[in-house]
Amino acid sequence: MIQVIRWAKLIYELILNPNAFDESAYNYSIERDGVPPSKEREVELRKSLKDSSSLVRISIGKSLLICVGILILAWITFSSLSTLPKYYFLSSAFILLWAVLGLLGWEIQTIAGGTLPELANKAWYRTLHIMGMYLLFIAIFQSFG
């Protein structure tokens, strides 16, 4: 349960409070490394973490726009299905596609692989994936039940 709360806070800060997220990312990196960086390294580290978290936010936004377009196309295509399963199928497809398209890899990857933007990216992907699969199973049960 604590992990879920941490994910929710991480995603909230990433999307709605970028400055707090960038500060949290810097503090997380300092705690993880155990040694405060030199002044030159601090500026470089802050800029790198800010760039990575910006890439995650941009990726979330771009993938959302792509998914909205695909959802509109799917809505037109599947208009003959009965109402309730159609909503669940389209919602699950939308969320799963958003998760896949929004996942970043090399753009934000570091050598250690444990920066806060990387963890937020993984948490966002897992959250969307779980929600999408849940809706998909509901749609399947509604269709055959």
Say whether pLDDT at 73 is over 80: no
Cβ atoms 119, 52 nearer than 8 A: no
Per the model's pLDDT, the better-predicted residue between 109 and 124 turns out to be 124
> Does pLDDT of 92 surpass 70?
yes
Centre a 10 Å sphere on the Cβ of residue 119 and count the other Cβ atoms it contains: 17
Instruction: Render pLDDT for 123-144 as a digit per residue (tens, 0 to 9).
Output: 888 888 888 888 888 888 777 7
**pLDDT attached to residue 18:** 92
CB 123 within 8 A of CB 15: no
* 16-56 residue pLDDT tens: 999 999 999 898 888 888 888 888 888 998 998 899 889 88
The whole-angstrom separation of Cα 10 and Cα 29 is: 15
**Where do the structural domains in the chain lie, given as residue ranges?**
2-144
Q: Which helix (H) or strand (E) holds 121?
A: helix 116-144
**Least trusted range by pLDDT, from 37-51, 84-98, 107-121, 128-142:** 107-121
* pLDDT (0 to 100) of residue 93: 87
Q: Is 143 helix (H, G, I), strand (E, B) or coil?
A: helix
- pLDDT for 23: 92
